[in-house]
């Protein structure tokens, strides 16, 4: 566990630099010519299943466990958390409409907090920008695809200058509340997440 924690520090430091609590995010529409820099890979199919080794950090508390995510035939995602002793920590479902349902929870967190943190985090690799996502430019010059799943809420897929996906943000009323950063640009095979309202960070490594 200690080795895993040390390996996560660099990723978490980079993630912390990506945005501040409550940071306002301003987006500027781009020209059709600039949109060509968004790669076709952003339309790639998500995986069928993933298994993560997770380091969860809340204040000075740390815990390590395994999360399994599997896509069901109806498109919904089944999520399970397993302790190192083989105990089921939680069971949940991520529905196609973006809602979460918790069926079992032994984490000590409320069902709502579990849904808004670990369940959301574990399903990030299954997210792809929808067809209606609009191309915008961030203040730092990077391009992003922006989707609005609900009023006053936005999903931001951020790309580096080479057109590779590097970050995923959630905004509420144009303010950053959640961000995830890829270990390797263009791939979610390892990533770190910070969920600001809960003062919560997590590092995901594939098994």
Average pLDDT of span 71-89: 94
How many Å separate Cα 106 from the centre of its chain?
22
The CATH number of residue 80's host domain is 2.50.20
β-bridge mates for residue 138, sequence order: none
Per-residue pLDDT band for 3 (boundaries 50, 70, 90) equals low
Domains of the chain: total: 1
Domain that holds residue 142: 2-206
Q: How many CB atoms lie within 10 A of CB 90?
A: 22
Q: What is the pLDDT of residue 139?
A: 84
Compute φ and ψ for 132, nearest 5 degrees.
-85, 0
Q: Of 80, 86, 122, which Cα lies nearest the Cα of 104?
A: 80
pTM of the predicted protein model: 0.80
């Amino acid at each position: 566990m200690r080795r895993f924690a040390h390996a996560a520090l660099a990723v978490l430091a980079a993630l912390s630099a990506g945005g501040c609590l409550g940071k306002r995010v301003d987006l500027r529409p781009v020209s059709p010519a600039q949109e060509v820099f968004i790669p076709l890979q952003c339309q790639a199919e998500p995986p069928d299943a993933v298994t993560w080794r997770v380091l969860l950090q809340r204040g000075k508390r740390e815990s390590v466990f395994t999360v399994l995510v599997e896509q069901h035939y109806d498109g919904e995602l089944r999520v399970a958390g397993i302790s190192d002793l083989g105990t089921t920590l939680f069971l949940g479902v991520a529905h196609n409409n973006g809602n979460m349902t918790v069926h079992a929870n032994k984490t000590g967190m409320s069902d709502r907090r579990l849904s808004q943190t670990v369940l959301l985090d574990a399903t990030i690799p299954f997210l792809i920008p929808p067809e209606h996502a609009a191309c915008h430019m961030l203040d730092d010059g990077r391009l992003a695809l922006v989707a609005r799943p609900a009023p006053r809420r936005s999903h931001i897929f951020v790309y580096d200058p080479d057109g590779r996906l590097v970050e995923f943000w959630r905004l509420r009323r144009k303010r950053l509340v959640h961000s995830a950063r890829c270990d390797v640009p263009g791939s979610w095979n390892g990533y770190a997440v910070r969920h600001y309202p809960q003062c919560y960070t997590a590092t995901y490594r594939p098994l």
